[in-house]
Structure 1
């Protein structure tokens, strides 16, 4: 009896597995919507990047390397196909373009090198080499807390050979501010005919009081 029950249980499991396999293979779209296009880190960096470039550049996200560079003319078919396969398999995090004609200005990749398995922790020799050969400026920016829009702006400017803008100095704590213009005396100015009131010492004041008392 126990053998029969065990056989029935095994048969049920096999039927369930087969039915599940046919169900998945029969569905041409076994997909679902993602919760968000960007991770929290990517979203925070994108907000700072938008502040840093303002209206100077257009920002494109998650662009294939094949959309940035192309294979030269005259390359053998085998080398062309191999290169195209690699170009289509590589994705770049952010691409800066000229807003007027969408000309490619620079490429930015976020790097999480807290661990060896982190996001793009190990430099990709093919991406580096392809962008360098195509003379496209490439920045690998480490993910860290405390980034400011000015930090990103300076990193981009430094990579593009532009002057770096220094932030205005900030002061911590209380700052003693001096007068911005000469302070005028509140005492009225003395004319040539009016003599200033002399300043008496304590002994002189006491002598005057004694003289007044005696006179009275």
Structure 2
């Protein structure tokens, strides 16, 4: 009987030690699930970006710089280790890829420069230099409200050297085109030596109509 009580006591002590270990700061997994992968600003911009590319490109999010850039051969081990460490530490907001082979077309980062603590407010010299050395178009787009799909399309096309065709102006859902027939001028016309015909006022026209009625 004493042995059973001793065993129960020992079991209670072990459970208490395990519970205390996980409750302390030494917990190897002090984590919890995020409520959302993207911030509201990132989510809104991503939706506009996907509409802007219109299936022409695949949009990837939160891509590590090391996933799209590799180190050249022939560099020293020290340089390789240092560069690889920096590449793995940098993340890109959006990457546009060719859907046929998933090759990188352009890189986009959102910028909040309203204050120095904003998201990527200060350009990262290593990211800029690495993407430039790898000949990858890099766009830094300021966070703001009121972005339109056409505006994002124009920015991307300009960076990639493409021409953007502006849609014709529309009126009540219909394409507004130019006049289909000549428009007559409202001014009195003159021909040769003929004197211009003066425009009559409303009272003069009414007086002439009254005179014609009385004469008939």
After superposition, give the CA deviation of every residue in 1:115-157 in whole Å (9 maximum; x if it has no partner): 0111001000000000000001100000111110111111000
1:204 aligns with 2:192: no
What secondary structure, in the 3-state scheme, does the structure 2 residue paired with 1:157 have?
helix
1:20 Cα shift?
7.0
Give the corresponding residue for 2:158.
158
Using a 3 Å threshold, how does the CA distance of structure 1 residues 147 and 168 change in structure 2: closer, same or farther?
Answer: farther
Give the corresponding residue for 1:63.
63
Alignment of 1:129-144 (within 5 A): 129-144=129-144
Using a 3 Å threshold, how does the CA distance of structure 1 residues 26 and 179 change in structure 2: closer, same or farther?
Answer: closer
Task: Count residues with an aligned counterpart.
Answer: 167
TM-score (norm 2): 0.70
1:68 Cα shift?
1.0
State which drifts further: 127-136 or 163-172: 163-172
Give the corresponding residue for 2:191.
none
Please give the alpha-carbon distance, in whole angstroms, between the structure 2 residues aligned to 1:20 and 1:118. Answer: 39
Please give the alpha-carbon distance, in whole angstroms, between the structure 1 residues aligned to 2:179 and 2:83. Answer: 69
Please give the alpha-carbon distance, in whole angstroms, between the structure 2 residues aligned to 1:102 and 1:178. Answer: 43
Using a 3 Å threshold, how does the CA distance of structure 1 residues 178 and 38 change in structure 2: closer, same or farther?
Answer: closer
Please give the alpha-carbon distance, in whole angstroms, between the structure 1 residues aligned to 2:178 and 2:108. Answer: 46
Note if contact 1:62-1:92 (Cα within 8 Å) is conserved in structure 2.
yes
**Structure 2, unpaired ranges of 5+:** 1-18, 183-208
Note if contact 1:154-1:165 (Cα within 8 Å) is conserved in structure 2.
no
Please give the alpha-carbon distance, in whole angstroms, between the structure 1 residues aligned to 2:98 and 2:124. Answer: 26
1:167 Cα shift?
4.0
Highest Rg: 1 or 2? 1
TM-score (norm 1): 0.70
Give the corresponding residue for 2:78.
78
Note if contact 1:112-1:120 (Cα within 8 Å) is conserved in structure 2.
yes
**Structure 1, unpaired ranges of 5+:** 1-18, 183-198, 206-216
Please give the alpha-carbon distance, in whole angstroms, between the structure 2 residues aligned to 1:180 and 1:161. Answer: 36
Note if contact 2:56-2:98 (Cα within 8 Å) is conserved in structure 1.
yes
Note if contact 2:21-2:27 (Cα within 8 Å) is conserved in structure 1.
no
Using a 3 Å threshold, how does the CA distance of structure 1 residues 23 and 111 change in structure 2: closer, same or farther?
Answer: same
Alignment of 1:91-170 (within 5 A): 91-169=91-169
1:164 Cα shift?
2.0
